[in-house]
Structure 1
């Protein structure tokens, strides 16, 4: 297998790169909305988990538990990627660390390269490509990393690496999730972070047939895949702009997570007593919960009905 992939600088590719640069600058200029962005980022991760479950399977845990674990793991890996202590360069070690986080408590092979033959299957379950043998995985990944770093245009680096990584298919499970996170890392390292809100999974899910067809390219020239990948980045960055433009953070957006959960509980049940809230938050002191409720009332998000021990709380909008 070769990994020294090439691409042609087509007029379409030039237009896509220009559009992506414009979108990057627009997103950088939009006001910071940390609470809204945190919500959008979590939505993106939930979509990522759904997409991954469709094409990769879930592993050895029960489907319900695996689904929750998968979301938790992707959130952990994504948070690490974007944190101050996150990776500052691409390496084999970083790839294995991401895989370890992604499949934590889901697979005994978390963090380890596959030790058996594998293949890439299309939506119909037909093998469209047989991956290289396990003994070639480390050398091929090392070559791919070095080749990718020689490409001068960052978004094209991300596209080329993604193609090569999926073709090498270094793990038995989790290749899609790890591959997309590594592409995110490559983009982030050169300023194409898009505030961590790019949801490439949605684009790939909507174009799965084309995605698999392009992964099956046998030529060293992967211009078609690079154009496909960049089209997805442009499409999703435009969606980020549309989601952020004209938004303003509300009082509710700025709530602490526990207070948001208390508010959601009150909205769900319409009227609740303090004892009902207390049973939901047994690890939190009663005095802290009472303070939370006073603050929610002060912010006009809930109403307290009554003044004795029989008082109940309801949403401000509930009549």
Structure 2
């Protein structure tokens, strides 16, 4: 599973009470662990509703944090699920790094969660996430309209693509470059020691060192 090796019993619903503590203050006290299976069942049922994906992804993210179904890793799971829900309708969200964007100002993230918690509804968190989405899409559009050096392209691609990839994956991010330019970029990455290559010809795959 995603959390295997990071926490005890990954993928298993918690069997104890938990909360979110910031400093000496309890920001959120999660529902009793006995309620978790039922709450999660209702949450996944919500995914089958006709709500638009933008709103649905924000609500799911918030409810995942509110329920706090696992001992640890709930934030990562909430952000991952939001990305997956959005990608199911809008493939461009594969290239929107929510983890990075939220980590740039975590106080706003936790404030939005806390405000929604106190109000008993996810409205403020939805507004916060829609702003993050809007700003990230604007940045992506700006990025696609700029001319970058090889090093800048490699640096950006590394920030949004952590796993093994092919030249085609690289070109899907930089749609205005040619096959030869992509090959030169990847060769340069190997020379700089930031990339390693596995396989040859059309079976070549790359991974950041």
The match for 1:204 among 89, 99, 102 is: 102
Q: Can you list the C-alpha shifts for 1:86-106, whole angstroms capped at 9, x where unaligned?
A: xxxxxxxxxxxxxx22x2222
Cα 1:143–1:186 shift into 2, 3 Å: same
- Residue in structure 2 matched with residue 194 of structure 1 by the alignment: 92
5+ residue gaps, structure 2? 148-175, 201-209
Cα distance in 2, alignment partners of residues 253 and 149 from structure 1: 40
Is 1:175 the counterpart of 2:104? The answer is no
- SS of residue paired to 2:108: helix
- TM-score, normalisation: structure 1: 0.46
Cα distance in 2, alignment partners of residues 215 and 207 from structure 1: 13
- Residue in structure 2 matched with residue 107 of structure 1 by the alignment: 7
User: Cα distance, 1:157 vs. partner?
Assistant: 0.3
CA RMSD in angstroms comes to 2.9
- Residue in structure 2 matched with residue 227 of structure 1 by the alignment: 127
After TM superposition, the structure 1 = structure 2 runs for residues 1-319 of structure 1, keeping only pairs within 5 Å, are 100-101=1-2, 103-122=3-22, 124=23, 126-190=25-89, 192-194=90-92, 196-216=94-114, 217-247=117-147, 248-249=176-177, 251=180, 253-254=182-183, 259=187, 262-265=190-193
- SS of residue paired to 2:119: coil
Cα distance in 2, alignment partners of residues 114 and 153 from structure 1: 30
User: Cα distance, 1:207 vs. partner?
Assistant: 3.3
Q: Can you list the C-alpha shifts for 1:159-208, whole angstroms capped at 9, x where unaligned?
A: 11111100111111111111111111111222x22151112223322332
Contact 1:184/1:193 (8 A) holds in 2: no
Cα 1:113–1:255 shift into 2, 3 Å: farther
Contact 1:252/1:260 (8 A) holds in 2: no
Cα distance in 2, alignment partners of residues 214 and 138 from structure 1: 25
Contact 2:87/2:93 (8 A) holds in 1: no
- TM-score, normalisation: structure 2: 0.68
Higher Rg of the two aligned structures? 1
- SS of residue paired to 1:236: helix
Aligned residues: 168
